[in-house]
Structure formats: C-alpha cells, structure tokens
Structure 1
Amino acid sequence: MENINWLKEVESRQDALIEDLFRLLKIDSVRDDEKATAEAPVGPGPLAALEEFLTMAQEDGFETKQFGPWAGRVEIGSGDELMGILGHVDVVPAGSGWETDPFEPVIKDNRIYARGSSDDKGPTVAAYFAIKLLRELGVEFNKRVHLIIGTDEESGWQCMDHYFKEAEMPDFGFSPDANFPIINGEKGNVSAIFTFPQVEITTVGYSLVSFKAGLRPNMVPEDAKAVIEGSNIEFIQESFEIFVEQHEDITAESSVSENRIELTVYGKSAHGSTPSKGVNSATYLANFLQKFEFNSTSAGDFVHLLSQLLHLNFNGAKLGVAHHHEVMGDVSMNVGIANFDIEKGGKIDANFRFPEGTDPETMLGQINTAVENFRVNVDMTDGKEPHYVPADDPLVETLLDVYHKQTGFEAHEQSIGGGTYGRLMPRGVAYGALFPDSIDTMHQANEFLALEDLTRATAIYAEAIYRLTR
C-alpha cells in the first residue's frame, strides 16, 4: 500500500463517488423547528438525510447503528483504539440568490452546485468513500473506525450531546468540515444577545414598524428589511438612494405607499466565523437609519447600537472585547440576527469566536461597559471553549505529512474561528475538505464543491485513514 496512487484510485471511481454524494444533496436537510416532532426533533429533513446515509452504507455492506433521530455511525475495523471521523448532514437555509435549485445538484464547469456540497455533505461522503475504497483494496483496519454522522451541527449540536451520552468517545480523529492542511486549533464560540425592551413611544419622529435581518447567528445576513411610517416619507427614499450610491458593496430597493416606506438592503452572505468576507445587510441598513429620529426609544437604541458599535466591527474593538492570541489569532464578531418590532422591541444576536486568553464572562463585562449609554440588556449564551491539539501530536504530524505528500504544498498548523465536531474529541482536529486554492462558498448562495477538490480530498482521506489505523 505504500506505493499506491491514491488519487488515481479515486479518479477511476469518480462516477460512483458523485452518485453517493448526489443521494444526500437531493435532500433538503435544513433544520425546521415548525415541523419538529418527537420523532424528528429538528425537523424531517435532517432525519431523512441521516437515514439515507445509513441506508447507503448498509447497501454497501457496512455495519451501522442509529442513535434515535439524532445521529448514526458506520463501523469498520477491530482493535483496542477507536478512531472517529465526525461529519454532518444538516445544512444552513438556502437563502436567496441561487441560480440553480439548491437541492437539485448539478455539475457546471467541473463544480457540484448544491446546498451542502462543501458544508458538509461533500466532505463527509468523501471520508465515507475513502473508507469504502480501503475496504475494496483489501485493507485490514487494525483499529476500530467510527464514521459518526450528526444532524444538528449548524445549530445547537444536540445531536452530538445525545450521541455521546450513549456512545464511546473516540481516542482520536478528525472532522472533514473545514480546510487543509489542518485545523488543530478552534476558537471558542458564544453569542451576546442584546435585548431592547419597548419602553416609550412619543409623537415625535418616524415610526420604525419593523426591522428584520438574518437567518442564523453563524451566517452574515444577506438581506435586511425595514418598514417605516411617518410624514415626508419621500425624504427618506431620496436619502436612501443617495446612501446606496455611496456604498458600492450593497444593492437595495424601496417602495412607498402613502405614509409608509419599505427599505431592503442586499449584502453578501458568508460564514459567521469570517464576517469580513461578507457584507452585512443589517448593519448597513442601520447605518442609514441612524440619521433619523424615531418615536420609539427602543428603536433609536436598536438602530444606533447596530450602527455605532456593531457596523464593520469585525474584531469587537468598539465593544471592548478585542483580543489577540499568537497561535489562535483575534476575536471575531458577526451580527447574525437583528430584529425589531414596534410593539415588542428589538433583539440582536452577535456571535463571537474567541481565542485563548479571554472568556465569555470577561467579554460580557466589557460589552456592558461599552453599551452603558444604551437602554439595552445583554446576556451571553452557553458557549464552547477554545480547543487546541499541539502541532507535535502524532495525529497532527501524520495528517500534515499525508497532505504534503499528496499535494506538495506546505503543511502547517492552523486555527480558525469556525467550530467543528473535531473539538469534541480530546485529540480531535478538522481536516479538509477545502484547499488553500479552493473558493470558499460555505453558507453562501450558489454553494459549490469543485470536482477536483472532491477527488483530491477523498484520496487524502484514504491515505490518512490507512496510516492512522496501522
């Protein structure tokens, strides 16, 4: 096996690899709480994708086990040590701006377009296919291997909470849900929830009837919409047109009906761990609205906090939480959700990814100091602590060596703001499937995975799993 051409072996089976992946991509596996039941606690889609994955593995002759509606695994190998490969089949909402049906995968320009193609159905199927390839080549797995499939990674990770209450924790392993050459450091993850209670409405100023932006805390809002009532609405529309012309990163539209105007700003979605790669429609819309007086004190505070403290504040400096770590990097902040209602008040979910050296309690104190002039309540959600596996760990060294051997590219340790299942294992990392030269479209419209990246990643996973199970 030492001289095998792993990429050639995968390329000769590419049609079968794509067929396996398309089975999963055709399933709309977005979490849907409105359709949640006891049998499908995050909605029918994620459960359907999980069951389809396990059915596919059973048809291929693998042993599988399902853990309620939450998770499942594919099993192979024997031995005392257990290697885990953790992926997920749930996906973020499709959002707008797609040129194809997000759940009817198509291949264009040697790219597979579909929601979940790169996050995380494509990489998870690549890892599965790597195991199937090794078995086909007659490899004996001298350690047990569990390919573990979750259904709630994009939300609360309840699937893994349930799984590890019943199942054994792997001794080591990786999650195919990030970037090569490796992710051996992951920042902590926590959200600050800003709540603006409706306390006073006057007869002076415009009325902010509603403001809506964002789908998930871990996505940069692609579009934001505000409804405003009052006199001289035409002035708002004229000012809005000027504002949009001055900001080339956004597009917009407006409509007027008597004393009411509806404003919509379109930005660019991106993964919440890299907010600077997106264009946040919510903060841009607030940046425009902050020049007007509103008859609601909570509306004024909502708009001004969004504009003054959160707009383009990717490292949290305006909130006092900026912090740098030599290995793990900087704090990052994404305003993922911002909603306001004239009768109920407002709510903002700002999601933070933080390195070692700070923590949610410290950050909450810093934020409260920064917002002391606003009528707002701030609470921190339950969070995830930073995770780091040293560069000299044999797991990290082996994975980096395989990557370098197959690509010829420099192999080095990395930390990210995104959170992967790799952090659940004490000796767990993230490993691919995007390469340094890949185009990252995770959480964006027209998400795709290049065919070349799919085959390259599958070949790397095959050799990595082979070497890690010797």
Structure 2
Amino acid sequence: MDIREKIEMWKPQLLEDLAALVAVPSVMDPASAEPQAPFGTGVRKAFDTFAAIAEKKGFSVRDFDGYALDARLGEGEDYIGVLGHLDVVEARDQKGWDSDPFVMRQDGDLLYGRGVNDDKGPLLAALYAAWLIREQGLPLRHPIRIIAGGAEETTWECMEWYFQKNPQPLCGFSPDGNFPIVNGEKGILQVRFLFPKTQGVTLASAKRVNFVCDDLQVELPFDIAGERAVEKTQEEAGVRLHYKGKSALSRNPQRGDNAIFHFVKDLAARSCTGGLQDALTMIREQFLDDFYGEKSGLAAQDPAMGNNSVCVMSMSTCAQGIEVCVDVRYVKSVSEEALRRRLSQIADHYHASLEILRHKRLLYVDADSELIQALKRAYARVMHEEAQVFTKGGASYARVLDHGVAFGATFDGEDPRPHMENECQRISSLLKACAIYYEALVELAVEKE
C-alpha cells in the first residue's frame, strides 16, 4: 500500500486524536502550577493526553517533571529529534472566533481550533509518521524521539530543562514553521524603553509584545484635534482618544497598521512635557513608518537571510513611567552586541532607560549540509518538486538544536492564522506533512539497504 494511502486510511484516527488535544486549553497558567505541572494544569493535561495517544501506538513515553516529554522509538543517545510544543496562546476570551476555539470544528478541508496549526496538529503528524515506521517494522540505525515542550509560547524553560537531562540529537527538525525548509530564523531582540512619567497622561496598548499595536487608548491633560483617532471624548481635564490599526505579528511589521504611529502623527505639532515628549520624539525620529531600521541605524542585510525588521509593539504607562516596547529581528550579518549598543545609544539620547525583555539567538544551517539535503530528498518524494530553503522571522524549537531546522507544516500560500482568531489547518496539508515527515525520518533514522 502506498504511504499516502496508508496515511489517508489513518485520517479519522488522526483527527480524533487532534480533537482530543485541541479540547485541552493548554495555556500557561502559573496560578495552577504544582509539582509535575510547572506551567499549570492545562499544559499538564495536554501532556497526559499526548502521552496516552503515543503509548497506545506503542511508543515509550518519558516525562521530564512536566516541563517536557518524549515519545521514543528505539533506545540510545544518538537519536533523531522532532521538537514541537503542546502549549498554546490564549484565545482572548474567544472574541473574534466563529466557534469555540477549544472544540475542533471541521468545515470541508479546513479544521478550526486553537492549536490545530500551532503546534498540536503538526506535532501529531510527526508522531503518526514515526508510528508508520514502527508499523512497517523498518530497522532503525538511529532511534527517534518526538519531543513535546510545554512553554514554547512563553519562557522556553521546557527545552532548557529537557536538554539539561538529555543529550542533543544528532540532528532534527521542528514541525512548527513552513515548508519547504526554514534553514534560517532571525535573531530576536525585544526591548523596553522606559521614560519618566508625565503628569495626567495615560497610555494603554491592547497587547504588550509580539504584535504590531492595533489598539491604543490615550488620555491627555490637554486638547488636540486627534484627526487620526477613531474616537474622541472631551474630558474635564483634557481629552480621551482611541486609535485603531491593523494587527500583525511583530516579525512582519510591514503587514500591519500601527496605531501608535497614528497617535505620534497627531501630536507632531504639539509640544509636550517630560517623558511623553521624549518618547514621541524617539518614535518619530527613529521608528515612524520604518519597518527595516533605516532611521534608527538598526538596519542590516544578508544575502541568505534578508533584512532586519523593527516593530514598535506597544506604548503604555506603568508604575515606573512610560514604556515603549520594540521588537528587532536580525540577520547573521550583524551581531546582537552591535544592536544592543545601538539601542543603548538611542535610549541615552532620549533620556530613557533600556531593558532587554527577550533575546533568542538566530538560527542558520548551511543549505549544503547533510540534514538539509536529506530533507530536500524527503520533500521531493512527496511533492515532486525541489525544496527551497528560506529565512523567517519567527521562532521555532529548531533554535535550541545544535543542528536542526524548522520543517513545515504550513505550505506556501496558506494562512493558518497562528496566534490569531479562527486558527485553522487544512486536513489535506496535514496529511501531506505527515507523508513528508515519514520520508524525512526514513532518510535520517532508518537503516540504509
């Protein structure tokens, strides 16, 4: 029987297993953390659900204190690793969803639900691919581990914990990106500029990090025209303004419409005081309508990885003052240290302090490597076309591997809406991904004839 036919035959069971995983709202919840559940009861339940699925299929499952677990075929330290995650981002009180995000819904070829694409569906496709190798009785030259983490959307402590207790795989991939092959992931540097308070000013962005700001609430102790605001309310002490934009992931600022930029433009002719003036001036002079860091001196270009990107994610008042959070995604032609120096110079110039919120090293694997060549062969056998390599601004678990890349499960032209309302996944694409992962694991782990 053809591999694709075998996977098609397993489709009802795969969808049943995926529905069980989606039904678990596995959002990090520190309030319910306990021993063996460091990320809360939701993530713990997702681990237990995945473990039951894997054990039923004959895998040996090992749990690492609720931080991560793995499903194993074969034993040994020189293994091939597939790294995915079972935690998901929250569904924002279900606003904007057409159906319950934690009840998987099928509409023709499309599945809807939180995690169907990021990353429960692709991780399950990889598990099924390994299961197919087991069912065929193919001899392994290297054992296989399907590794699931519980904090990919937040702290990544899960992988730190796992690799404190386990060696690195010989090589591997993460089914948490795009096809064909993501051999480059830009470095991530997210920072906070903190400015002194300005009396009577209140600012509130709907989301703090990881997105282009699409919603900004402003209260000022003076009146302005507010031509770009969608709503203006006159207050006794000043004015209340509401700015709207278009959301996009902060790694793709050019795809959004930044509400903060509308606010900054509305105050272009107005002189303010204190920290507000410095914050507005910094945004206007360094970041306004510039997605690639040309104004700020944060720009860089690399033939293999493309350009740096820069996104102003949020602008809010807090107990310490006024904070402006900025996301920089960088390529291998510039160092993290150089970017930090430039960001520090910007902060000093505008009388702000600088705090690093998040840093993740970049990933780059040469296209001529044995891993890439093996994945290319696997992809070509299923898709009957050559697999191209490319760079993304997003972050997958491939970054924690000494030798690994992101490999699917989203195909070119698809928009599965990860992290957003109505997250979706094509069933046909999930089955194709399963076939590609099977071929990849055959290339990497199975004995050659």
**Native 8 Å contact 2:205 2:213 kept in 1:** no
**Cα distance in 1, alignment partners of residues 196 and 36 from structure 2:** 36
Alignment match, 2:228: 243
Equivalent residue of 2:181, what SS? coil
1:316 to 1:40, Cα distance in 2 relative to 1, 3 A? farther
> What is residue 248 of structure 1 aligned with on the other side?
none
Counterpart secondary structure, 1:414 = strand
Equivalent residue for 1:452? 428
Equivalence for 1:364: 340
After TM superposition, list the pairs within 5 Å mapping 1:273-352 onto structure 2: 273-294=251-272, 296-341=273-318, 344-352=320-328
Identify the residue that residue 423 of structure 1 maps to in structure 2: 399
1:117 maps onto 2:108 in alignment? no
Deviates more, 1:159-168 or 1:126-135: 126-135
Q: How does 1:76-225 map to 2 (within 5 A)?
A: 76-78=73-75, 81-95=78-92, 96-198=95-197, 201=199, 207-215=200-208, 217-225=209-217
User: Once the 2 structures are TM-superposed, how far is the Cα of residue 406 of structure 1 from its aligned partner?
Assistant: 1.3
The residue type equivalent to 1:317 in the other structure is E
Structure 1: runs of 5+ lacking an equivalent = 202-206, 245-251
Change in Cα spacing, 1:222 to 1:75, as seen in structure 2 (3 Å) is: farther
* 2:331 aligned residue: 355
Moved more, 63-72 or 138-147: 138-147
Q: TM-score, normalised by structure 2?
A: 0.90
Counterpart check, 1:264 vs 2:236? no
CA distance in 1, matches of 2:60, 2:50: 12
Mapped to 2, the partners of 1:262 and 1:136 lie a distance apart of 64
Provide the residue aligned with 2:440 in structure 1. 464
Q: 1:363 to 1:35 in 2, by over 3 A?
A: same
Residue 302 to residue 32, structure 1, CA distance change in 2 (3 Å): farther
Q: Is the 8 A contact 2:361 2:399 kept in 1?
A: no
Confirm or deny: 8 A CA contact 1:269 1:443 kept in the other structure. no
Return the letter of the residue paired with 1:353.
R
Q: Matches of 2:262 and 2:108 in 1, distance apart? A: 34
The 8 Å contact of residues 193 and 353 in structure 2, kept in 1 or not, is answered as yes
Deviations 1:185-216 (A, max 9, x none): 22222222211132x64xxxxx322323324x
Q: Which secondary structure does the structure 1 equivalent of 2:440 belong to?
A: helix
Task: Give me the whole-angstrom Cα distance separating, in 2, the residues matched to 1:416 and 1:351.
Answer: 15
What's the CA shift for 1:435?
Answer: 0.9
2:413 alignment partner, SS class: coil
Tell me the TM-score normalized by structure 1: 0.87
Distance in 2 between the 1:11 and 1:23 partners?
19
Change (3 A) 1:308 1:460: same
Q: Is the 8 A contact 2:173 2:398 kept in 1?
A: yes
Counterpart of 1:243 in 2: which secondary structure? coil
- Structure-2 residue corresponding to 1:247: none
Q: What is the rounded CA distance, in whole Å, between the counterparts of 1:316 and 1:86 in structure 2?
A: 32
CA apart distance, 1:42: 3.0
Are 2:27 and 2:87, in contact at CA under 8 Å, matched by a contact in 1?
yes
Cα distance in 2, alignment partners of residues 304 and 382 from structure 1: 24
Deviation of the 1:160 alpha carbon: 0.5
Give distance in 2, aligned partners of 1:121 and 1:280. 31
Q: 1:283 to 1:453 in 2, by over 3 A?
A: farther
- Offset at 1:363? 1.1
3-state DSSP class of the match of 1:190? strand
User: 1:47-77 CA deviation, whole Å, 9 max, x = no partner?
Assistant: 2222221122223332101111211110112
Pair 1:255–1:45, CA change in 2 (3 A): farther
Q: Which amino acid aligns with 2:364?
A: Y
What's the counterpart of residue 48 of structure 1? 45
Q: Is residue 320–residue 370 contact of structure 1 (8 Å, CA) maintained in 2?
A: no
Partner Cα separation in structure 2 for residue 276 and residue 137 of structure 1: 47
Distance in 2 (alpha carbons) for counterparts of 1:408 and 1:219: 36
Say whether 1:63 aligns with 2:60.
Answer: yes
- Is the CA contact 1:219–1:271 (under 8 Å) kept in the aligned structure 2? yes
- Once the two structures are TM-superposed, the CA of residue 80 in structure 1 deviates from its matched residue by 6.2
Partner of 2:218: 226
1:254, CA displacement in angstroms? 4.8
Q: How many angstroms apart in 2 are the aligned matches of 1:32 and 1:317? A: 39
Alignment check: 8 A CA contact 1:78 1:141 kept:
no
